[in-house]
Chains A and B, each alone.
Chain A
């Protein structure tokens, strides 16, 4: 799941050849524009709509209302007072009182200091313009005629806000401690999880690459397991382990698992494979001559470790840290399940949108969440671009030498990590099979009767598989073809640069933000694409876009390994590029194509954050069902469904493995002579 850093900027510039545009070139540029437009429609425009939504505010426009007050016997003398002047006289409402949300209401009696609901005084109220709206009780009045009310009815008058634009939402956000606190919470929880995960993953990868311990293959497999489950599954396992009825809650010494502790432990679980993969790649290759030099200079192993090993892996460590940081800060499922009262940004978006239907505030929190995510992503990219090759042609690959003592220590360490990962999964499976924890410990399959629970039943499981297959098929085609065009077409530099930028953008956009922006963009009746809202199509599009970047980078890396001369040869043989693409490029890059498709499949099965805003009653998903069943308190069925996702993904991986072996044997025979 990692990407290998590629930067076209450091490649030596090739000779400047400017051939005439052939039909092939036009076709390729046309296709590239089509895919770029796809990215614009599914990423750039929705994000823009969301950004503009965050500036959409609601205000009480007092100048829109006029009043008349009668005397005690109910006669009006014709004096008309505007609400604005009344407010200036009485000072009843401050400016912040007037800034409100879409469902804001303002009672007007405060404008009349002498008001009493028992008094015989009559009131008249009207809107001065068509945009004015007020309620009497819950009946909407939007006309400009006078409405006459007695005092008792007049206290039921509520003004309604009008829409305008401005920074009010942001001011409101940063002046509400309940909301603003989440920024702090999100940041420190992400930093802590990053430090813990990267440290643990580093030693795990070190053991697997630099020691001679046994069972390396098994540990490699175990380390990858968390990728196959939704991020909220470890949360459920932790509830069973450390909750108030937990199996080993004593280990927490009275601390509550619901909160930062739970989020950090769960985050370590689900980000571990990502960190491990990146660091492991960095540690896999090393120049043995450096270690020989260190040894001949009589450096202690400790010193060698800090001066040779760590610097050699620094780019991997930095990259792993940023990837983990981004995963944790944008994750929504885990804090939702185990966060308790500990508010984080991603959950705030959900609460604002689903709980309060306050879409504007949801957009504001999204903008706030995007900032650290984009920062982390950009810094990582900048650092990676400085990376230079460590391994030259003269390097001697480092081979670890057996050392009984350290190998044993490493084995013990890996067993601990393995136990942590397998343990959490086993707990979920165990919980899923128990009839009624903790009162009835008999085994039963009752928790698999999903049709009796919230979340869409077995239908959602079927939907998830459909989504995963469609995402894998469509996503792989679009991504690989797009990468081919951008990598192999001639000229058109600006277009290609813009395309590259669009392709990198999804990585920096948190799923919650993407999903919310899709609501704003697609659920708008005037949008011609409105029809796909609530269908499987929007889920596929959203998932493909969400996971576009890593797939794109994998494809680009594979394509870079193919010399551009293939294109030159084919054009000199007067063969259409598309034929070359189908007959040569795709078969040669088949390993990468298969990797992309399994990556998309697995992520489509486990994703929660983006699709949580987009599923409809007909397209409920298994991962969302886990969330909703947990939300409704059906924790054991949630664990059961989570494990179904795990088994499905594991099966998909095995099928992928077998299929790739078979296909590769046929298509990649040329690689070994």
Chain B
């Protein structure tokens, strides 16, 4: 009899461990976060949620967005963690996001949370436009450092500026959308007309202008602040300039994909993404994060960047994106080879 009891006890333990193993949920998470950060993110998350396994699908912002849109009728992802808010707005407008207010969302800076209640997405961190200025090459060319966007249209900078093409780069688009918001529709295009005369060429990616400035290939690269800080840390003779009118920005954000079979696990993950702990984790790569008071200064980051961030209207950016890009292309892409 005693034997039978222990036998049953062993069986019960076996069954328990078996269920524990089975109850591990796997989440397919789409992301555009840098590959080197992913393992760290998953590890930190698993410290508090050891029973949820993250399967990453990572690619650049454009490709992940295209993939999600292509899978509209047959979504493969459970959660999107770390994709541009402008992209998430596109998904939202297709009805692809499951609104959810994660526990503790009220702690976040309201700028970083979707206006709807419950919000369709919540922000993580921001990347902010800046101008990378190569002091050595600028001196050789006899240039004075610009202090504002308007300065960049000075004829002195003719063919000395490189910026990303908004048609292929998210950073390029946030510049264009910020100019249209700051200077108004007409003023914005007038500004870009003038700036176009000074642009040596448009690059495909948003980080390249800054790297080219770092390498002295061009004195001035319109890029984003974090890229500039990194190049400066590598020893490039760069100064990172925050134009006085204000700078455009976009954020990385998180959302649950509507129709996920693992809603509970997905919600746990989103709960985690808004915690202080998670925001501290984002802070290693991003100087501006959603949780107020968490961000520690990142080395070589320009001062006053936070205050310079414009009051970005993401809805304007998402809803006018197609029209803006078409207009931009007809103005600057078509005549570019005539130069």
Contacts and interface: CB of A to CB of B under 8 A. Distances in A.
Interface string A335-360: 01000111100000001011111010
Contacts of B90: 103
B215 A354 contact: no
Interface string B49-84: 000000011111011011001110110000000000
Contacts of A256: 200
A439 B210 CA distance: 16
A208 B286 CA distance: 59
B285 interface: no
B205 to A, nearest CB: 5
Interface in A147-177: 156, 158, 160, 176-177
A104 B322 contact: yes
Contacts of A259: 337
A303 to B, nearest CB: 43
Interface string B211-227: 11011111000000000
A525 B215 contact: no
User: How extensive is the interface on chain B, given as a class?
Assistant: 35 or more
Nearest to A356: B167
B94 interface: yes
Contact of A355 (B58, B115, B169, B321): B169
Contacts of B323: 105
Interface string B303-337: 00000000000010011111101000110011011
Nearest to A526: B74
Contacts of B94: 140
Contact of B337 (A103, A139, A185, A631): A185
Nearest to A101: B322
Interface stretch (B40-48, B229-237, B262-270): B229-237
Interface in B154-172: 165, 167-169
A341 B336 contact: yes
Given A355-B62, A633-B208, A177 B334 contact: yes
Contact of A176 (B69, B202, B234, B329): B329
A138 interface: yes
A239 B167 CA distance: 24
Give the dominant DSSP class at A's interface.
Answer: loop
A140 B95 CA distance: 6
B183 to A, nearest CB: 20
Name the residue in A100, A102, A107, A178 with the highest tally of chain B Cβ atoms < 10 Å from its Cβ.
Answer: A178
Contacts of B204: 336, 351, 355, 631
B71 A354 contact: no
Contacts of B57: 617
Contacts of A437: 215
A663 interface: no
A452 B36 contact: yes
A181 interface: yes
Given A178-B330, A259-B337, A244 B216 contact: yes
B244 interface: no
A505 interface: no
A634 interface: yes
Interface string A342-386: 110000000101111101000000000000000000000000000
Given A351-B167, A617-B57, A617-B58, A139 B116 contact: yes
Contacts of B169: 355
A452 B237 CA distance: 21
B52 to A, nearest CB: 20
Contacts, number: 145
B276 interface: no
A205 to B, nearest CB: 34
B168 A354 contact: yes
A565 B182 CA distance: 82
Contacts of A359: 66
Contacts of A100: 322
A501 interface: no
A438 B216 contact: yes
A413 interface: no
B201 interface: yes
Contacts of A102: 69
B180 interface: no
Contact of A617 (B35, B115, B168, B200): B35
B298 to A, nearest CB: 18
User: How extensive is the interface on chain A, given as a class?
Assistant: 35 or more
Contact of A632 (B65, B202, B205, B318): B205
Contacts of B136: 439
Contacts of A336: 204
A138 B315 contact: yes
B325 to A, nearest CB: 7
A105 B319 contact: yes
Name the residue in A104, A336, A439, A634 with the highest tally of chain B Cβ atoms < 10 Å from its Cβ.
Answer: A439
Contacts of B59: 616-617
A238 interface: no
Interface in A405-449: 436-440
A355 B205 CA distance: 9
Given A105-B322, A140-B95, A354-B63, A181 B207 contact: no
A456 B323 CA distance: 34
B288 interface: no
A452 B89 CA distance: 31
A523 B200 CA distance: 38
Nearest to B36: A452
Given A336-B204, A341-B202, A633 B58 contact: no
B92 A139 contact: yes
Contact of B217 (A177, A243, A634): A243
Interface string A513-550: 00000000001010000000000000000000000000
Contacts of B71: 525
B147 interface: no
B84 to A, nearest CB: 13
A258 interface: yes
Contacts of A104: 322
B211 A632 contact: yes
Contact of A138 (B70, B93, B209, B337): B93
Interface string A233-255: 00000010001110000000000
A301 interface: no
A397 interface: no
Given A138-B92, A139-B92, A244-B216, A439 B235 contact: yes
A431 to B, nearest CB: 11
A176 B322 contact: no
A343 B333 contact: yes
Interface string A66-94: 00000000000000000000000000000
A102 B70 CA distance: 11
B167 A355 contact: yes
B208 A632 contact: yes
A142 interface: yes
B2 interface: no
A336 B203 CA distance: 10
Interface string B275-290: 0000000000000000
A158 B334 contact: no
Nearest to B217: A244
A662 B199 CA distance: 59
A436 B204 CA distance: 22
A104 B321 CA distance: 9
B74 A525 contact: yes
The 3 closest A-B pairs by CB, nearest first: A633-B211, A355-B168, A178-B334
Given A258-B200, A635-B211, 13 more contacts: A107-B319, A137-B115, A138-B318, A140-B95, A245-B217, A355-B62, A356-B62, A357-B69, A456-B35, A631-B204, A632-B205, A633-B203, A635-B215
26 contacts: A105-B323, A135-B93, A137-B315, A138-B318, A139-B92, A139-B116, A156-B315, A156-B319, A158-B319, A176-B330, A176-B334, A177-B330, A181-B334, A181-B337, A239-B217, A244-B217, A341-B336, A343-B333, A351-B165, A353-B66, A356-B167, A439-B235, A523-B70, A631-B205, A633-B211, A633-B214
